[in-house]
Amino acid sequence: VPDLAAALTQEMGAPAALAGGFQMNLGLGHLTTAIEVLENFTFEEQRGATRIVKEPIGVCALITPWNWPLNQIAVKVFPALATGCTMVLKPSEQSPFTGQIFAEIIDEAGVPEGVFNLVQGDGPGVGRALSGHPDVDLVSFTGSTRAGIDIAINAAPGVTRVTQELGGKGPNIILDDADFAENVGKGVGTMMLNSGQTCSAPSRMLVPAERMAEAIEVARAAAEQVTVGDPNGDFVIGPVVSKAQFDKIQNLIRTGIDEGATLVAGGPGRPDGLEVGFYVKPTVFADVKNDMTIAREEIFGPVLTIIGYDSIDHAVEIANDTEYGLSAFVAGADPELARSVARRLRAGSVAINDAFDFCAPFGGFKKSGTGREWGEFGFHDYLEVKAILGYEPQQA
């Protein structure tokens, strides 16, 4: 555990408390969940005279990202193992250490030779070779929508099954009956976690338009509590992963200002006292229109946009007005109202009042991907379904 936590901090800048806490706990949670699912999973069942058999799909290419590396390795490797597949894992070239240590753990655990394989390398080189390889039966990819499209095209000639968990631009609808200060503040904190480098982050906060001023004050105070610094120190967030990521975030922050959004906290440049390193100021924009660039593009940094809505219908319309559909959030005191709003959102998962469940399927609508991971649903893509007709005589 200490080695994995230290690797997470070193390779992608996760603060020590996050690396050794939530990042580690996600990986462990997926392991225990996969074990529990396997104990009760039905690989064969009889339906009338037909036997339904679920068989391992075969060789799986698992391509994982750098932002939550242990989590994404766990949600692919453990279901693949549990369903009897063999696999080649290619972790991101920006977070190779976690994958290397994970491979050592797998070997030490006694997984038979050849079942789990690790290859290091970049996406255009190794990732492309894996996704187009004729001996690969499934490609499971997590990363950007752009790269996901490239992988799907590359896998198409072999009619290789491709599952993808891609980008997101998650709406977080704060209903008028919610504890406003608590939920606006919590929304800011959740957005800033992992320096905002989370595909399922609640990056678009939707609040009643007449309460925008109130939301601004709460959000500003919350953002000011997000400390930034050396990930080995006692700070809430560390640097973003690379110069390319830093530059992208800075450009989008400047675009937000240029397009007329109200800068509530943060802004361009590094935080005071941090002249070296890819540190980004925790940034909040308000009075954002949903057609602005910062409301359309996945920023993948500690940048929150706050958008006003006039009615429940308007909030749902704004929430669904995106090319993504990975995660969404609803906060409210009335359970029936919150549930009715959640049902109308076009997203693979909708969390009511910050609910969390390792067994809930995770994946996206629209350009956020195909297939589902986590829990029982994480097993399905690693299996072929065979129907053996006439397995038993027809009943007279």
Q: Is the pLDDT of residue 40 over 90?
A: yes
**236/221 Cα distance (integer angstroms):** 15
Which residues is 200 bridged to in the sheet? none
What pLDDT digit, counting tens, does each position of 202-236 carry? 999 999 999 999 999 999 999 999 999 999 999 99
Which residues is 305 bridged to in the sheet? 204, 285
pLDDT confidence band for 394 (50 / 70 / 90): confident
pLDDT confidence band for 188 (50 / 70 / 90): very high
pTM: 0.95
**What distance, in Å, lies between the first and last C-alpha atoms of the chain?**
60
**The tokens of 4 are what?**
């994995």
Percent above pLDDT 70 for the chain: 100
**302/265 Cα distance (integer angstroms):** 11
- The position carrying tokens 């005589």 is 393
What pLDDT digit, counting tens, does each position of 71-95 carry? 999 999 999 999 999 999 999 999 9
Domains detected in the chain: 2-166 (3.40.605.10), 171-352 (3.40.309.10)
Residues 341-352 have a mean pLDDT of 98
Identify whether the C-beta of residue 40 lies closer than 8 Å to the C-beta of residue 100. no
Q: Is 327 helix (H, G, I), strand (E, B) or coil?
A: strand
Angle, CA of 312, 213 and 179, to the nearest 5°: 55
pLDDT of residue 396: 61
What pLDDT digit, counting tens, does each position of 88-135 carry? 999 999 999 999 999 999 999 999 999 999 999 999 999 999 999 999
Q: Is the pLDDT of residue 1 over 80?
A: no
Q: Which residues are catalytic?
A: 165, 199
pLDDT of residue 277: 95
Could you please report the per-residue DSSP string of 55-105? EE--EEEEE--SSSHHHHHHHHHHHHHHTT-EEEEE--TTSHHHHHHHHHH
Segments in the chain forming alpha helices (H): 2-12, 16-18, 24-40, 69-82, 96-108, 128-131, 145-155, 180-192, 212-224, 243-258, 293-296, 312-320, 335-344, 377-380
